[in-house]
Homo-oligomer: A and B are copies of this chain.
Amino acid sequence: MGRNNRYIGVDLGATKTLAVLFDENLAPLGQARVKTPSEKGGEAVLDAILALIAEVCGLYSCDPAALTCIGVAVPAPIDRASGTVIQAPNMGLKDFPMAKRINKAVGVPAFLENDVRAGAWAEYRKGALRGCRNAIAVFVGTGIGGGIIIDGKLLDGSHGHAGEVGHMILQDGGAACGCGQYGCFEALASRTAMAKDAAAAIASGKSPALLEKAGSDFKKLKSSAFEYALAQKDPAVLRIVERSAYWAGVGMANLVNVLDPEAIVLGGGIVARFGSLYRDKAEESMRAHIMPGFVKGVKVLASELGDLSVPTGAAITAKEALDSAAAP
């Protein structure tokens, strides 16, 4: 690995986009962030990514054309081989050849990865799952996703779709999910699920602290509003957070029973926000729901990379794709 190798990992999100510059050891040198112009469509999103790449390179006097490669992690299904975003309607992307367009604009190889898969792989390579052979990462945020490490490899599945843990059904006939099913993990534990419960608590007058912060605007029920209400010792909100953690534990238990991993890292925006309050409750629920023989063998870990897990994974997977393309 050359001493001057530099990599960029981009975490493209529907609300904001983060680009991180990494050194030859994939350690972060610096970052730049921007509001994603999702409503302006694919070309605007691409332009924003290109501007961010230029910005973060500028901060470190690094010529973008001298980068070794660029990885972009996308919260959507992708075609890895062609570097195409298959469909991300909330950003106006459909069959969008993101990798080729970046490659053409910057002049260095570019690769795509799915965001939760990138995050899981980063925790395995550089974070909490280092040294594990079989492990799982579960990310709880607006949605719920995961990545599965088997025998030291990120599980692709037959069509590259493995790890849709958020759509495991944990309570058939339960809460409606965006996917059309009822009782999915995501419908029970995500930020979206919490916001629904919170709206009900506000409507029934049970959460004065949330009412004060969010009023009746469903969109204002963000993590910060929950955090504020928790600080006010709002009991309705404490129950909502604990309920999400309970379901996170059930989802993790299913994964442990099926896959028998050494460790699960529990990350994502919700977990980052509520920390050990959330993680401890989720672990307690997981241990209560797994087969007795599994209880001692599995660890629940906090994410070590936090916000950097996805861009780090984007850079690592890009580097690995480049290396394997160069291999004889």
Interface positions of A (Cβ within 8 A of B):
77, 133-134, 146, 148, 150-151, 153, 155-165, 167-173, 179-181, 183, 250, 253-255, 257-262, 289-294, 297-298
Contact = CB atoms under 8 A, between A and B. Distances in A.
A168 B171 CA distance: 11
6 contacts: A133-B158, A146-B258, A163-B258, A171-B171, A171-B173, A172-B250
Nearest to A260: B157
A77 B293 contact: yes
Mostly, the A contact residues are loop
A161 B259 CA distance: 8
Contacts of A258: 146, 148, 162-165, 168, 255, 258
Contacts of A160: 260
Contacts of A291: 161, 164, 167, 179
B254 A168 contact: yes
B150 A297 contact: no
A172 to B, nearest CB: 5
A288 to B, nearest CB: 8
A231 B272 CA distance: 57
A294 B161 contact: yes
Contact of A157 (B134, B158, B163, B292): B134
Contacts of A134: 157-158
Contacts of A261: 157-158
Of A170, A254, A292, chain B has the most CB atoms within 10 Å of the CB of A254
A153 B168 CA distance: 24
B172 A169 contact: no
Contacts of A254: 168-169, 254
A51 B298 CA distance: 41
Given A162-B258, A171-B183, 12 more contacts: A151-B153, A155-B260, A158-B260, A158-B261, A159-B294, A164-B258, A164-B291, A165-B257, A165-B258, A167-B290, A169-B289, A170-B170
A217 B178 CA distance: 45
Contacts of A292: 179-180
A257 B170 contact: no
Contacts of A146: 258
A180 B292 CA distance: 9
A167 B181 CA distance: 21
A294 B262 CA distance: 28
B259 A168 contact: no
Contacts of A77: 293
A258 B173 CA distance: 20
Given A77-B293, A150-B150, A291-B179, A257 B159 contact: no
